Each structure stands twice: as C-alpha cells, then as structure tokens.
Amino acid sequence: MSSPVWHPFTQHGLKEAVPHIVRGEGAVLHTADGRTLIDGISSWWVTTHGHCHPRIAAAIAEQASRLDQVIFAGYTHDPAEEVARGLVEMTPEPLAHVFFSDSGSTAVEVALKMALGYWHNIGNPRHRILVLQHGYHGDTIGTMSVGERGVYNRAYAPLLFDVSTIPFPAIGVEKETLLALEAACSAGEPPAAFIVEPLILGAGGMLTYDAMILREMADICARYGVLFIADEVMTGWGRTGTFLACEQAGVTPDILCLSKGITGGSLPLAVTLATKPIFDAHYSTDRSRQFFHSSSYTANPIACAAAAANIAIWREEDVLASVDRLSRRLAEHMATLAAHPAFENSRQAGAIAAIDMKVRDAGYLSDLVPKLRAFFLDRGILLRPLGNTIYVMPPYCIDDDQLAHIFDAIGKSAALS
Ligand SMILES: *Cc1c(COP(=O)(O)O)cnc(C)c1O
C-alpha cells in the first residue's frame, strides 16, 4: 500500500495527497485517476514551451537510439558541440567557454570552483564569497553555504562555509546594498566572487529588485576586480522577459549558470559559462592547473539533444513574443488581485508574478501552505506557495482560460487567510 518513495521537500507525516501524474501536454498534467491539473509553476520552474514539446520529444527519441552516453573527459559528440556553440551565440560575447553539468546546484558549484580556481591559478588566492541576502542557489553543501540560512539548512549549518552577506536591495534601501557591497569589496580579505540571482530571487520569496541596482552591483564588482557570478538557473530562457535577466541591466557576468529551461524542461542538464580569463587561468601544459570537476553524466548526449532542440526552437520561433503575451496577461490579473484586501506586495518580473497573502504567520513553515496547496489541487491547479507568497510561473504556452482559472482560484483562496 504505502510507497517506498521519499519525496523532496515533503513532510510525509502530514499525509498530503500525492497526485500520480501519468501524462503531460502543454500547460496540463494528467493524473492516473483521470483528472487534469494546470501547471501553474512550470513543474518547479523548468518547463518553458510546455510539457512534451513534440520537437524536443522527437530529438530525445532520435538521440536515445543513436548515442545514449559517452565519457566527456577527453571525448566529445555532436549534441554537446551544438549546444555549446548555440549558447555562445545566444549570450554576451565575453562568455566564450561552456562547462556542462547536470543541475542548477552543480552549475553553481562549478561556478564557485571556477572562481576559486581562477584566483588560485593566477597566484593570487582568494576564497571569500559575497552573497545576496535571501539568495537561493541549490541544496548541496556548497550551494546551501552561499544561500540564505534558515530552517531548511539548520541541521547542516556546521558544514556550511562562511560567506559575507550583502543586504537585499529592497525598494528604498538600495543605497545600503551598494554601500555594503562596496565595503565588502574594499575592506579586509579581498573577495573571490559575488554570486547573485539577477532581477528576482526565487526560493527566497520571489523578491524583485531594480535592473539599475543589478547594473550598479556588477559595476562595483568590476571596479574592485571581484568576479561577478550570475545564477540564471531560474531567470534564464526568457522567464523574466528577455533571454537572460542580465540583459535588462546591460550586465555581462564573468560566470553564468544556466539549467532548468535549458532542455525546455524535459531532461536534467546545466551549463556554467565563463570568460576567457577564467578559462585561460586553467589553460596550461601543467595538468595540476586543469579544472578538476566532472560527473558521470557530464553533457549526456540525450540531454544535450533536448537542449539543442530547445535552442533550435529559440532560433526559429519568437519565444519572447509568447513570454511577452503571458507577461501582459499576468500583469492584468495581478492588477485585479492587488486591489483585493487580503493581498499585498504584488510584484512581477516578466512571466513570473507573485503576491503575498496577509497573514500573521508568514514563514516558510506557515500552516497556511499545505491548506493552500490542497485548495488549488482541488481546483485542478498545481501551485506551491512559498510561505504566504503565492506565485504563478506557468509554461509560456498557457492559454487565457487556464490563466483566468488560476487567478480566480487565487482570489478565492483569500478565504483561507
Ligand atoms: C532551482 C535553482 C537552483 C538549483 O537548481 P537544481 O537544478 O534544483 O539543483 C539554483 N539556483 C537557482 C536560482 C534556482 O532557482
């Protein structure tokens, strides 16, 4: 009867319903008992064009019967070469080197290792990492270290390395952020890198900040020679209205992390892009200077074929027009919701919209969260609020009726506050 599966971020003791999903199509998931769910969060921020996009599914099938896997240390294959070339074309020119891994967390681990490897190999070792308050970069020990500390990592705190935290640039206190960053760059042990989620902090509560501030933070880092790492694992692939969120600030990071939407949300894959100086610091005839990182499935050919198909879609279709249409619809719905007395702090970054429900207990472990999840599930909607923050981040193909149904349910969920 009971399943042996141990689910992520799930308190099994609450005995919440665990819908059994058998099929996905566009913005809809089908359950084993014949119900449909509108995927309001892109299956945890990964699905871009919609579930089971025919072109991506076909590329996966084709690649699976041609070459499934091959060692990537010292070997290469067409799908990886195609993805790397495509990414270099789609990103700012200084990002000229592409390192593959398997998840957002590993893309960030790789970024941190590249940054420290750079300083080590140029003979000027630096170890201190600057992070933004409320940041989230993954669930491995290294990525938890550079993320917000809280209930979700308290048990592991003794293993997490020290970082310097820059206050979040909330509206009205941006100046403090910039002063703190400048102070952290100029005083004490010189930092190796500053890691940020551009324009919107995801798991930290869908917190938005101004593109100008992103620009100024990057400029300060450039001025002090601190490497700027953009974690675009959530924001990349059009989610904020441009291919990269950094584009809106005219920022070119030294290191860029991409994952989630890289395969259109079909298979796990990630990349870390780096500039020439970072690659060159590892380039030598001396093997002790090579980049010491790999995983068994680095640049898996099937995952790369899915990414190559996704890149072809980006090249041939106007993906950003779909994002723009969705963003405008979201803005209309949010305007209505913002007028509702049960909600506050509405905010949006492209195709991500968030609002807070007014409640006394607003924390991540708020009792409200399981109630809201069940409320939406009962109405055929997959939403997963972060504490009292309800956010909508659907696949770009979601239609107006599906979106209206989601926002109608959010409005009615106010009865639970
Ligand atoms: C999801 C996410 C990660 C971690 O990605 P995983 O694939 O879950 O390891 C890292 N950074 C950001 C900004 C994310 O949203």
Model confidence pLDDT, tens digit, residues 164-185: 999 999 999 999 999 999 999 9
Q: In what order do the strands lie in the sheet with 36-39?
A: 21-25, 28-31, 36-39, 381-382
Is the predicted pLDDT of residue 93 greater than 80, yes or no?
yes
Is the predicted pLDDT of residue 396 greater than 70, yes or no?
yes
Residue whose CA is closest, atom 8 of ligand 1?
A: 104
Rounded mean pLDDT of 401-405?
98
CA 105 to ligand 1 centroid distance, Å = 6
Model confidence pLDDT, tens digit, residues 65-89: 999 999 999 999 999 999 999 999 9
Instruction: Give me the percent of the chain exceeding a pLDDT of 90.
Output: 96
Model confidence pLDDT, tens digit, residues 1-15: 589 999 999 999 999
Model confidence pLDDT, tens digit, residues 241-255: 999 999 999 999 999
Asked if residues 394 and 49 have their Cβ atoms less than 8 Å apart, the reply is no
Is the predicted pLDDT of residue 201 greater than 90, yes or no?
yes
User: What is the pLDDT at residue 417?
Assistant: 84
User: What is the pLDDT at residue 89?
Assistant: 98
User: How far is Cα 277 from Cα 15, in angstroms, rounded to an integer?
Assistant: 52
User: What is the pLDDT at residue 172?
Assistant: 93
Is the predicted pLDDT of residue 216 greater than 80, yes or no?
yes
Other C-beta atoms within 10 Å of 170: how many? 14
Is the predicted pLDDT of residue 314 greater than 90, yes or no?
yes
Binding-site residues for pyridoxal 5'-phosphate: 104-105, 231, 295-296
Task: Burial-class residue 321 by CB neighbours within 10 Å (0-12, 13-18, 19+).
Answer: exposed
Model confidence pLDDT, tens digit, residues 361-376: 777 677 899 999 999 9
Q: In what order do the strands lie in the sheet with 255-258?
A: 95-101, 270-275, 255-258, 227-231, 191-196, 128-132, 164-166
User: What is the pLDDT at residue 2?
Assistant: 84
User: How far is Cα 256 from Cα 107, in angstroms, rounded to an integer?
Assistant: 9
User: What is the pLDDT at residue 111?
Assistant: 99
Rounded mean pLDDT of 146-169?
96
Return the ligand 1 atom nearest residue 260 CA.
Answer: 7
Q: In the numeric block, which tokens belong to residue 319?
A: 């993906």
User: How far is Cα 119 from Cα 278, in angstroms, rounded to an integer?
Assistant: 9
Kindly indicate the confidence band of residue 187, based on its pLDDT and cuts at 50, 70 and 90: confident
Classify strands 270-275 and 95-101 as parallel, antiparallel or unpaired. antiparallel
Rounded mean pLDDT of 23-33?
98
SS3 71: coil
Task: Look up the pTM and report it.
Answer: 0.98
User: What is the pLDDT at residue 170?
Assistant: 96
CA 134 to ligand 1 centroid distance, Å = 14
CA 270 to ligand 1 centroid distance, Å = 10
Average pLDDT, the chain: 97
Rounded mean pLDDT of 188-192?
93
User: What is the pLDDT at residue 390?
Assistant: 97
Task: Burial-class residue 378 by CB neighbours within 10 Å (0-12, 13-18, 19+).
Answer: exposed
User: What is the pLDDT at residue 360?
Assistant: 78
CA 412 to ligand 1 centroid distance, Å = 31
User: What is the pLDDT at residue 208?
Assistant: 98
Task: Burial-class residue 215 by CB neighbours within 10 Å (0-12, 13-18, 19+).
Answer: middle
Rounded mean pLDDT of 300-321?
98
User: What is the pLDDT at residue 1?
Assistant: 58
CB under 6 Å to ligand 1: residues? Answer: 103-105, 108, 136-138, 197, 202, 231, 233-234, 259
CA 104 to ligand 1 centroid distance, Å = 4
- The preferred substitution site among 43, 47, 132, 136 for testing ligand 1, maximizing ligand atoms within 8 Å of CB, is 136
Model confidence pLDDT, tens digit, residues 220-234: 999 999 999 999 999
- The preferred substitution site among 137, 139, 255, 271 for testing ligand 1, maximizing ligand atoms within 8 Å of CB, is 137
User: How far is Cα 167 from Cα 305, in angstroms, rounded to an integer?
Assistant: 40
User: What is the pLDDT at residue 248?
Assistant: 98
